[in-house]
Each structure stands twice: as structure tokens, then as C-alpha cells.
């Protein structure tokens, strides 16, 4: 026996990645069910070397399902997660719908696995935003050593974070530039090919975008509410992997060499940091990988106890699908969730 797992949003960028990660990591599933909205019924998705046909979420009975990995957007999650949770099926939700709910743990296993135990309140666990997930994986071990006071981060986020249509838009606009065809903007407010856009998600009243606000609020909830953080989030013409330029101010002294040694040992982190041309990670190389890569670690002499670093990870994997599957593994490995059929 094993866990019966349902994937909601199985045809999306993240849903398909969830299926491949479950297969890659040999998650002990007795059965995996692909669910999607009614317009995707019958569409096929791959699961390892098998093919699954999508069933309709609306008609699915979750009574004997143990884990639901949900990546179908905020409004679907708002409506469905409580109903699914009420059937005793744990929802691990990738949307922003539940992240700030005090009864819903927001979990990055390398940082706050213990918090996942709180799923019992609503049978919902939230997965953070992709740009937050990789950042807290890199910050946690440094915070444990030298206590972070303030973080200033600029992101360089790939188009896959905005979905499959956004990836198609980068591709078709790029082609249009070469063929001198008109450039059409559909998903993004401005052209993305050979350009970049300093807006991700909607504007808030204070002038921040919602993506920037999420990085602040989620870092506080996952890592430490005392950390001050300010972000500028930028969309760049890259297909997969988000990159971040991070400036950190600590309470206690920490050198670049110490930080490098700490990060080399830290769970989920992979340091690539040679001070020579190409001695660092780029988003293209991080795509399809699990690690949070860290490069360009150096002291910032303009503040007391300051460091700079460059952090890159596959936004569909650590930023979404991988983190969700790791949360399911925490529930299993710590014995917090037993299969119903056991
Ligand atoms: C992006 N970070 O790159 C967004 C996508 O809150 O889960 C994920 C939005 C979220 O566009």
C-alpha cells in the first residue's frame, strides 16, 4: 500500500512538474490521479513512463485520497481546498490563497519542516511563492549563524512563473523580432522579448507590487518575523529559473568565507563560487535541477556585517512542485500522515 495522491491542475506548468517529481523521487503512491478543470477532461499527462488521462475535479470524490497537490490558481483553491480538507485529504496548495491564514502552515522543508505538523487545523498546507522559496533556503543557514537584520533583494524572474501562455509569448515575440512581424503583448503589459519588465503581479496601494509584498510577508512567516526585507521584482526573457541579487545585513560579523562554508553544508544549497569568468551559476544551468544555487558571495563594505550573493533556482521545481512533494515527504517520514488504506 501507499498514499493515494491527486494532482489538481495536472496540465499546467507546475502540475506536470509535480507528476515528474513524484515519479523521479519514487514517492510511495498507491495511485496517482490527474485532475483538471472540465475543459481538460481526457487530456493526457505523463507520469514516469505511464500516461494518465485527466478527470474532472468537479466529479472527483476525495474520500479515499490521502494527499492532494493543488496548482490550479487562487480562486480554485479558495473554493476547493476546504472541501477537500474536510474529507481528510491534506491539500498542499501552490497558490497564494491560504499562505497568510494563521491556521495554515507555510512550509519550506529545509527551513521550517516542523510547522507542517499544524496541517491538522484545516488539512491545508501552503507552498510559498517561487521567489520566496529559494531565498529562504539560502537565508536560513546564514540567519542561524549571524542573525539577519535586513535584506534588499532584486529578482530576475523567468516567464514560466507566469504560466505556459507566457512562455509561448516570449517564444513568439522573439520569433517576430527576427521575422520583422508585429509584436503582440497578451500575457505581459509590455514586450518581454529582448526586454525586461519591472512589474510582477498587481500594484498595491504603497507602490509595491504584490510579488514584492509576498516576498516580505512570506519570508517573515517562514523564517523570522523580525527580518526586514525590501524587494524589486523584475520579469526577464528567460524561460525557466528565477535569479536573485541579495544584499544582507547581519547583527553579528560574518565573512564571505564563513558564509561560503556554511552554505556548502546547508540542506538544499549548492555553492558554485569561483572568482573567474563563468565561475557562477546562470538560470539556464539551474533549469531542471533541484538545488538552490549560490554564487558571487562577497562582503559588502558599505554596511556593518554586510554580504552580497547571487541565488538561482528552477522556479517550477524548488519554487513550486519539488517543494510541494518535499512537504508530502515530511508528512510521511515524520509519521504525521498515515495512508487511509493502510
Ligand atoms: C511569477 N512568482 O514568477 C510568480 C508565480 O504566488 O504562487 C507564482 C505566484 C504565486 O510570476
Q: What is the pLDDT of residues 134-165, one digit of tens each?
A: 999 999 999 999 999 999 999 999 999 999 99
Catalytic pick among 54, 143, 242, 311: 242
Residue owning the nearest CA to atom 9 of ligand 1: 129
165 in the same domain as 52: no
The pLDDT of residue 1: 77
Beta bridge partners of 125: 92
Is residue 339 pLDDT above 80, yes or no? yes
Q: How far apart are CA 167 and CA 159, in angstroms?
A: 6
The pLDDT of residue 254: 98
> What is the residue range of 39's domain?
3-128+320-333
Rounded distance from Cα 321 to ligand 1 centre (Å):
12
> Candidates 201, 232, 233: which one to mutate for ligand 1, based on the most atoms within 8 Å of Cβ?
201
Question: What ligand 1 atom has the least distance to the C-alpha of 201?
Answer: 11
For residue 338, is it within any domain?
Answer: no
Mean predicted confidence (pLDDT) in 215-242: 98
Catalytic residue list contains 284: no
Global pTM value? 0.97
Closest by CA to 164, choosing from 5, 54, 9, is: 9
289 in the same domain as 190: yes
Rounded distance from Cα 130 to ligand 1 centre (Å):
6
For residue 341, is it within any domain?
Answer: no
Q: How far apart are CA 342 and CA 339, in angstroms?
A: 5
Q: How far apart are CA 271 and CA 292, in angstroms?
A: 8
279 in the same domain as 170: yes
172 in the same domain as 31: no
Burial class (CB in 10 A: 0-12, 13-18, 19+), 253: exposed
The pLDDT of residue 342: 76
Q: What is the pLDDT of residues 2-51, one digit of tens each?
A: 999 999 999 999 999 999 999 999 999 999 999 999 889 999 999 999 99
Catalytic residue list contains 242: yes
Write the Ramachandran bin of 288: left for phi over 0, alpha for psi from -120 to 50, otherwise beta: left
For residue 86, is it within any domain?
Answer: yes
Rounded distance from Cα 12 to ligand 1 centre (Å):
13
Q: What is the pLDDT of residues 238-262, one digit of tens each?
A: 999 999 999 999 999 999 999 999 9
Spatial contact of 222 and 106, defined as CB atoms under 8 Å apart: yes
CATH of the domain at 47: 3.40.50.720
105 in the same domain as 9: yes
Ligand 1 contacts (CB < 6 A) are 96, 129-131, 157, 161-162, 200, 211, 214
Catalytic pick among 54, 68, 89, 130: 130
The pLDDT of residue 2: 96
291 in the same domain as 168: yes
DSSP assignment of 191-206 equals --TT--BS--SPBPTT
The total domain count for the chain is: 2
**Average pLDDT along the chain:** 97
Closest by CA to 281, choosing from 319, 320, 316, 309, is: 309
Task: Tell me the C-alpha to C-alpha distance, in Å, between residue 303 and each of 3, 54, 83, 151, 287.
Answer: 50, 54, 50, 12, 33
For residue 308, is it within any domain?
Answer: yes
Q: What is the pLDDT of residues 56-83, one digit of tens each?
A: 999 999 999 999 999 999 999 999 999 9
On the CB side of 222, CA atoms within 13 Å amount to: 30
Rounded distance from Cα 170 to ligand 1 centre (Å):
17
Residue owning the nearest CA to atom 7 of ligand 1: 129
143 in the same domain as 117: no
329 in the same domain as 255: no
Amino acid at each position: 500500500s501507499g498514499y493515494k495522491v491527486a494532482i489538481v491542475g495536472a496540465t499546467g506548468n507546475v502540475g506536470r512538474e509535480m507528476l515528474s517529481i513524484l515519479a523521479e523521487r519514487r514517492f510511495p503512491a498507491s495511485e496517482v490521479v490527474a485532475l483538471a478543470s472540465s475543459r481538460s477532461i481526457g487530456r493526457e499527462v505523463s507520469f514516469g513512463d505511464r500516461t494518465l488521462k485527466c478527470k474532472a475535479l468537479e466529479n472527483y470524490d476525495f474520500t479515499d485520497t490521502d494527499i492532494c497537490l493543488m496548482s490550479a490558481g487562487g480562486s480554485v483553491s479558495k473554493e476547493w481546498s476546504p472541501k477537500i480538507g474536510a474529507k481528510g485529504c491534506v491539500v498542499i496548495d501552490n497558490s497564494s490563497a491560504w499562505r497568510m491564514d494563521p491556521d495554515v502552515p507555510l512550509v519550506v522543508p529545509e527551513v521550517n519542516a516542523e510547522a507542517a505538523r499544524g496541517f491538522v487545523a484545516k488539512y491545508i498546507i501552503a507552498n510559498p511563492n517561487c521567489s520566496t522559496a529559494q531565498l529562504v533556503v539560502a537565508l536560513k543557514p546564514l540567519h542561524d549563524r549571524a542573525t539577519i537584520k535586513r535584506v534588499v533583494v532584486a529578482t530576475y524572474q523567468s516567464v514560466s512563473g507566469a504560466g505556459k501562455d507566457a512562455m509561448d509569448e516570449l517564444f513568439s515575440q522573439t520569433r517576430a523580432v527576427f521575422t520583422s512581424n508585429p509584436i503582440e503583448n497578451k500575457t505581459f503589459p509590455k514586450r518581454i522579448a529582448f526586454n525586461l519588465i519591472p512589474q510582477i503581479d498587481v500594484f498595491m496601494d504603497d507602490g509595491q507590487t504584490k510579488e514584492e509584498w509576498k516576498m516580505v510577508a512570506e519570508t517573515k512567516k517562514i523564517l523570522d518575523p523580525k527580518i526586514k526585507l525590501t524587494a524589486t521584482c523584475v520579469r526577464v526573457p528567460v524561460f525557466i529559473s528565477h535569479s536573485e541579487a541579495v544584499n544582507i545585513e547581519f547583527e553579528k560579523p560574518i565573512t564571505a568565507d564563513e558564509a561560503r562554508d556554511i552554505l556548502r553544508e546547508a540542506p538544499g544549497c549548492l555553492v558554485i563560487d569561483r572568482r573567474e569568468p563563468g565561475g557562477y551559476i546562470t538560470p539556464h544551468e539551474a533549469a531542471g535541477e533541484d538545488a538552490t544555487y549560490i554564487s558571487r558571495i562577497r562582503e559588502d563594505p558599505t554596511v556593518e556585517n554586510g554580504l552580497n550573493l547571487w541565488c538561482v533556482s528552477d522556479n517550477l521545481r524548488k519554487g513550486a512542485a519539488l517543494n510541494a512533494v518535499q512537504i508530502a515527504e515530511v508528512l510521511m517520514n515524520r509519521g504525521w500522515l498515515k495512508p487511509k488504506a493502510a
